[in-house]
Chains A and B, each alone.
Chain A
Amino acid sequence: MYINFWYPVCTADELTQDAPLRVELLSLRFVAFRDTDGKPYVLSDTCIHRGGSLSRGKLTEGCVECPYHGWRFAGDGQCTLIPSMATDKPPPRAKVDSYPVQEHYGIVFAFLGDLPEDERPPVCPVAEFGQDGWRANEIAILEVNCYFERSMENGLDPVHNQFVHPAQGFPPMLEDTLKLRREDWGNGFWVNFGLPDLSRTTLATDENTRPGEFRAGSWFHGPNALVTSIFINKDSNMVQYFFEAPVNDQQTRIYFLNMRNCMFADGMDKTIMNINLGIAGEDIGILEELWPVRTPDNLTKELMTPSDRVIVDFRERLNDWKARGWQIDRKAMRADHGDAALTIPCPARRTSGNWILETVPLLTPDA
């Protein structure tokens, strides 16, 4: 698990001005809410007074109010009211971490880290979103009992399809067509498949999905966003975005956005979602049984083949981010569980001092 990336926190609809929302991410609790203008905020959930859970409180005047002693925190994390103190101005150290937030594609993303704005990676772009000729499915949320890296690697793996998804008509891939791609925040591949047998799927009913050149590609963006693009024929394209939220080191919440430029007939939203959820269910059936739960930290503990190439690339990029000191030390974190309230450092920690909670332990490069 890594700091300094954008994580999906909730859907835009889940976040209201009426009540705070608790979200667990990276084994920590966060509170999300909207102020009176509807602006979204994501804060560390632990009240720095005596440990109350802000998300179990309420929203008052655009601030989140701790249910224990009524301390109020504004969206910027600063405490604005301490009811038991006569002073109207709480001390400056009465503040909690507040994270940069962006809303895109119906999802609320928080940047969980302390990088200044110009050094942050972007939210994974969805180029097709809002474009003519493209249609988005409603966001689907998948809760999976696996470590997020296992799920990411599954998406970057072109070989599993014919075994895990036989009913979807996946033919074997044509290995000599594999092309790798490399971008600023991730790598991926394109590969051609043999002609699929669509007669076994609902897609066979659509004029646009007559088989032609059948190719697909997958790539990652940061440690936790995954894109799969499927050309059912030369023109009919489905692009699937998976924004992954590591809940903790064995659970992942996936925000799934399906874009397509074909199959616009009535009822196809539902049909496509059902097919996608069926396929996801097949992957989940495998992922939840993988051992060990977390990917081995060393390639000698697995036997990789050339078709695992992009997975190796993914791990190399993870190593780059680890070398920057962004990887959370899960073991140290577990050892402190229940004894220390930890938080991900927010950008404001670089500009002011006197923060109360300790920041999550990070692995030092080459440790």
Chain B
Amino acid sequence: MYINFWYPIADSDEVRDDKPLRVELMGLRYVTFRDDDGQAHVLRDVCVHRGGSLGKGWVREGGVVCPYHGWRFGGDGKCQHIPTLPEDKPPARAKVDSYPVEERYGIVFAFLGDLPEAERPPAPHIPEWDQDGWRANKLTVFEVGAYFERSMENGLDPSHNEFVHPAQGSPNMNQDLRRKPLDVQDVPWGSRFLVRFENEVKGTEALGEKATLVPEVEAGSGHIGPNHMITWINFSETNRFSQYFFEAPINEGRTRIFFVNMRAFLLEPEHDERIAKVNLMVAQEDIDILEELDPVRTPDSTTKEVLVPSDGAVLRYREWLKKWDDKGWRIDLKTLRDKKGDIAYSIPCPGRRESGNWVLDTVPLVDADTAAAKPRVAQG
């Protein structure tokens, strides 16, 4: 799990101006709510007074009110009101971390980290959104009892389809995959690959003839950052799916996935439901596998697995993770686990670079030098 990336926090519809919503992410709790202008905010959930859970409080005058002693925090994280103090000017250190928010595609995203704006990875982007000839399914949110890296790697893996999704008309093992290493291309903050299917493969019955894969058309997937995954399924030149998976690691064994399906065919709304149904069936097949993987978290060295050329995109993903390890962005899960119940940690927000006197300790991170000394991907 990494700081300094954009994470999906909640379905926009769930974020309200009359009631805060509490969300767990990366082992810590957050509160999200809207102010009087409808602007969504994401704050650390822990009241700096005596530990109340802001997410269990209420929203008043555009701020979130702690249910314990009524302290009110604005969207910027600053305490606006302390009922037990005579003068209405809370001390400067009465503040909680508040994170940059972007709301798009019906999702509230937060940047969980302290990088200044210019250095941040880009906010999630769906180029097909609102384009002519494309239609989005309603946002689907599902939870998986697996570590998010396992789920990401599953999406970056072209060789599991024929075993995990046989009934969905997934292609037979692509001979290209067997003959040569996967051609993985780097993109800003990530990588992607496309493979060409040689044989015509019948699509799933529920989608009809239009979802039949025709030969010589490409399909593949890619990732941006540690937790955004995209799958392109091009049944033909025109009949295309672009599937966006924004993954929120809830903790070290659980992941919430925000899924947006874009399609360039079957554009009538009447097809929404059956497409969603097929997608969920396929997702469940993956979930059944992911929840049984051992160990729960991907081994930290490739010597603990036997990887083959068709795992090329998985390896490239790990190389990217390694870059972020080396920047010191990886959360130290063992320390987090050891201190659970003793220390309320917080992911540092950008405001911490501009002012001092923050009350909560920042989340423990794997030291960049320690990370740099440890290869993730074995050579040779």
Cβ of A29: which chain B residues have Cβ within 8 Å of it? 294
Q: Does A197 contact B (CB under 8 A)?
A: no
Cβ of A53: which chain B residues have Cβ within 8 Å of it? 289, 292-294
Cβ of B311: which chain A residues have Cβ within 8 Å of it? 49-50
Decide yes or no: A339 and B305 within 8 Å by CB, A50-B153, A52-B292, A86-B179 being known contacts: no
Q: Looking at the complex, which one of A68, A79, A357 makes contact with B164 (CB distance below 8 Å)?
A: A68
| Contact assessment for A85 and B299 in the assembled complex, using a CB-CB cutoff below 8 Å | no
Cross-chain pair count, CB within 8 angstroms? 96
Measured between alpha carbons, how far is A19 from B295 in the docked complex, in Å? Answer: 23
Most buried by B among A50, A56, A94, A356: A50
Measured between alpha carbons, how far is A358 from B298 in the docked complex, in Å? Answer: 14
Q: How far in angstroms is the closest Cβ of chain A from B166? A: 10
| Dominant secondary structure of chain A at its interface with chain B | loop
Stretch in B155-163, B344-352, B354-362 with 4+ CB within 8 Å of A: B155-163
Q: How far in angstroms is the closest Cβ of chain B from A250? A: 19
Q: Looking at the complex, which one of B160, B295, B296 makes contact with A69 (CB distance below 8 Å)?
A: B160
| Contact assessment for A84 and B294 in the assembled complex, using a CB-CB cutoff below 8 Å | no
Interface 1/0 per residue, B282-308 and A, CB below 8 Å: 000000110011111111100111111
Q: Looking at the complex, which one of A56, A66, A83, A357 makes contact with B288 (CB distance below 8 Å)?
A: A56
Q: How far in angstroms is the closest Cβ of chain B from A96? A: 10
Q: How far in angstroms is the closest Cβ of chain B from A163? A: 40
**Chain A interface category by residue count:** 20 to 34
Decide yes or no: A82 and B308 within 8 Å by CB, A67-B164, A69-B160, A70-B162 being known contacts: yes
Measured between alpha carbons, how far is A45 from B297 in the docked complex, in Å? Answer: 16
| Contact assessment for B295 and A49 in the assembled complex, using a CB-CB cutoff below 8 Å | no
Q: Does A46 contact B (CB under 8 A)?
A: yes
Cβ of B162: which chain A residues have Cβ within 8 Å of it? 70, 83
Interface residues of A (CB under 8 A from B): 29, 45-46, 48-53, 56, 66-70, 79, 82-86, 91, 93-94, 338-341, 356-358
- Sample of 17 A–B contacts (CB below 8 Å): A48-B306, A50-B157, A51-B150, A53-B289, A56-B289, A67-B289, A68-B164, A68-B289, A69-B157, A69-B160, A69-B163, A85-B178, A338-B147, A339-B296, A340-B295, A341-B295, A358-B304
Interface residues of B (CB under 8 A from A): 147, 150, 153, 157, 159-160, 162-164, 173, 177-179, 252-253, 288-289, 292-300, 303-311, 314
